[in-house]
């Protein structure tokens, strides 16, 4: 990683910044460079100053992420409040990439617009678009009209949703692009009814998922058939949690990592886990499911960085959960 000086920037920048405290699983080594820009102009200046060979990783609130113990080579960009605005514009909702999904759902509902499916999706709009997030039968692909991105060269572009080729838990973006915001079509709804529906969703989630544990949401994708918009084909629908349960891995432990006994498709940091504990347990689950039923589960959680720091030291310098 280059140690060349960067130009004056108005945001917050640090070298060798541990990332564990920025992820829901509370694991992960340092980023060579960590940057939280003050605004779009600041982000553009940063990207243009980086040598083109330096990789850039956009990071939201770390809700669907394992940062490996050796940390991340290159630059990690985390968008903050300047990228979190939400505005209801008639039948559409415009949201910054750093806006929390739940906040967007509530803001839309208060204005009589229905994006209620976002209420129980952890993370930010940027991550929701990148993963074509969805629940209760609705997906980002059902509502997304366009996205604004910044290219690796620091140029702002708008892309229609069709250009993203949204699929099951996937979107196609230009290499190195950072999502700045998104525009959604939002059908009309009665605010009180939308609030009631969201409250019911939250109650269902809290009853079935380990919401108080350190997790990153669903660990593995459901191995089902899906349409081009990412909608499940119920005829071939299989649930990852059921396959994990049948393979005898509910509650399985490795170091400080555990497959939740409450919902066995949730990988949790049960106390003092390393990123290696979590990833290795996940790989063991995949192996056991393959042996049990012949199906190879695919990770839904993103895993980034190096297993070990290039200098040979462990990268997980952040304080461990107590």
The catalytic site residues sit at 169, 218, 300
Secondary structure class of 3 (helix, strand, coil): coil
Burial of 52 (0-12, 13-18, 19+ CB in 10 A): exposed
For residues 262, 265, 270, 274, the Cα torsion angle rounded to the nearest 10 degrees is: 180
Alpha helices in 84-149 (DSSP H): 101-110, 125-130
Q: What are the φ/ψ torsions at residue 33 (nearest 5 degrees)?
A: -130, 135
Task: Let me know: does 260 contact 210? Beta carbons within 8 Å.
Answer: yes
DSSP for 31-60, please give it. EEEEEE-SSHHHHHHHHHHS-TTS-EEEE-
Dig out the tokens for 191 from the structure. Answer: 């605010």
Secondary structure class of 247 (helix, strand, coil): coil
The CA-based angle 257-259-260, given to 5 degrees, is: 110
Distance between CA 116 and CA 94 in Å, rounded? 15
Q: Cα 117 vs. chain centroid, distance in angstroms?
A: 16
Query: Between β-strands 266-269 and 144-150, what pairing exists: parallel, antiparallel or unpaired?
Result: unpaired
Q: Cα 21 vs. chain centroid, distance in angstroms?
A: 15
Distance between CA 132 and CA 127 in Å, rounded? 8
Distance between CA 87 and CA 78 in Å, rounded? 21
Dig out the tokens for 84 from the structure. Answer: 């979190």
């Amino acid at each position: 990683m280059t140690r060349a000086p960067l130009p004056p920037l108005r945001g917050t920048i640090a070298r060798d910044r541990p990332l564990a405290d920025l992820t829901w699983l509370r694991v992960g080594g340092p980023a060579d460079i960590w940057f939280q820009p003050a605004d779009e102009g600041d982000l553009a200046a940063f990207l243009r100053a980086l040598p083109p060979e330096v990789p850039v990783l956009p990071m939201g609130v770390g809700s669907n992420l394992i940062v490996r113990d050796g940390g991340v080579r290159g630059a990690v960009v985390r968008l903050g409040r300047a990228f979190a605005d939400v505005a209801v514009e008639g039948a559409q909702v415009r949201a910054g990439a750093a806006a929390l999904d739940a906040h967007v759902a509530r803001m839309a509902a208060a204005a009589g617009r229905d994006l209620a499916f976002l209420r129980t999706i952890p993370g930010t709009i940027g991550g929701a678009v990148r993963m074509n997030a969805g629940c209760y039968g609705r997906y980002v692909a059902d509502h997304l009209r366009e996205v604004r991105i910044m290219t690796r060269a620091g140029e702002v572009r708008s892309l229609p949703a069709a250009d993203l080729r949204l699929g099951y838990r996937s979107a196609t973006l230009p290499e190195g692009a950072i999502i700045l915001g998104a525009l959604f079509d939002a059908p009309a709804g009665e605010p009180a009814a939308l609030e009631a529906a969201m409250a019911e969703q939250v109650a269902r989630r809290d009853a079935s998922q380990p919401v108080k544990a350190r997790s990153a949401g669903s660990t593995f994708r459901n191995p089902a058939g899906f349409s081009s918009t990412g909608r499940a084909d119920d005829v071939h629908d299989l649930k990852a949690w059921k396959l994990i349960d049948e393979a005898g891995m509910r509650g399985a432990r490795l170091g400080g990592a555990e497959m939740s006994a409450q919902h066995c498709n949730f990988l949790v940091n049960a106390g003092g886990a390393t990123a290696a504990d979590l990833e290795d347990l996940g790989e063991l689950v995949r192996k056991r499911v393959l042996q049990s039923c012949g199906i190879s589960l695919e990770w839904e959680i993103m895993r980034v960085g190096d297993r070990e720091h290039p200098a040979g030291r462990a990268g997980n310098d952040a304080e461990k959960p107590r």
